[in-house]
Amino acid sequence: MPSNASHAVVNRLLAALPRDEYKRLVPELTPIAITFGEVLYEPGDRIKHVYFPNDSIISLLSAMSERSTLEVGMVGSEGMAGLSVFAGVNVSLTRAIVQGAGTAMRMSAAVVRQEANRLGPFHKLLHRYSHSLQSQVSQSSACNRFHSVNDRLARWLLMTSDRLGTDEFRLTQEFMSNMLGVRREGVNQAAGTLQSAKLIRYSRGMITILNRGRLRVNACECYSIIKAESDQYLN
């Protein structure tokens, strides 16, 4: 273990741990690369590992059928995918798919289960994160039901950009359609509206946010609510 291990912590959940606690867990963490579109769990899969994204994003999707999916949660550097293990449930309820390629720290589910019984700082932090993710899922459910596709797309692009740490990222129409739970034509129309207003540029599967301030004005209030919640749990 490098002595300066704690200086290189990118995942904010891991970085929020007391230094000694983090050092104790370092041997259990394996850095891995995850690729765009990679499915980490399907609903019903046994969870063998949990993932702490560094500069990547893992989307949690509710799948009604192969063609009908909707994002219910987004996990970036503020969190961990595979949280149900912490609650003692070894089976995934959602599809976990890589929405932003990059790196993540992987930990065995068995270790997370042990840590859940240990009642130390890691346990406490995961507990707080559970609440934060639950809030995000509740807010997303209401958002998906009550807010327009335009507003939701703006929110979703901002959340993606925050977690990837860049204003330019890869996205296909199919992917956006699966995330927002709307047909491709609906996504096209919403992206077209944002593009005409010069808030984004969308070309060849790449999204560029051109005017973040105005995109924020166009996003529904869910963006600020979710952001405040995920920032707050870490403090």
Q: Which residues bind Zn ion (CB under 5 A)?
A: 143, 147, 220, 222
Q: How far is the CB of 69 from Zn ion (least distance, A)?
A: 18
Nearer to Zn ion, 115 or 162 (CB): 162
Nearer to Zn ion, 61 or 98 (CB): 61
Residue 106: strand pairing partners: 30, 51
Nearer to Zn ion, 112 or 143 (CB): 143
Q: Are strands 168-170 and 49-53 parallel, antiparallel or unpaired?
A: unpaired
Q: How far is the CB of 148 from Zn ion (least distance, A)?
A: 9
Q: How far is the CB of 119 from Zn ion (least distance, A)?
A: 36
DSSP state of 18: -
Nearer to Zn ion, 96 or 143 (CB): 143
Nearer to Zn ion, 20 or 231 (CB): 231
Residue 217's nearest CA partner among 189, 201, 235, 197 is 197
Rg of the chain (C-alpha set): 18
Q: How far is the CB of 98 from Zn ion (least distance, A)?
A: 24
Q: How far is the CB of 61 from Zn ion (least distance, A)?
A: 17
Could you tell me the strand order of the sheet in which 68-75 lies?
39-41, 95-100, 57-65, 68-75
Q: Which helix (H) or strand (E) holds 3?
A: none
Which phi and psi (to 5°) does residue 82 adopt? 105, 25
Residue 101's nearest CA partner among 161, 56, 157 is 56
Distance CA 127, CA 87 (A): 9
Q: How far is the CB of 153 from Zn ion (least distance, A)?
A: 10
Q: DSSP for 176-211?
A: HHHHHTS-HHHHHHHHHHHHHTTSEEEETTEEEES-
Nearer to Zn ion, 71 or 115 (CB): 71
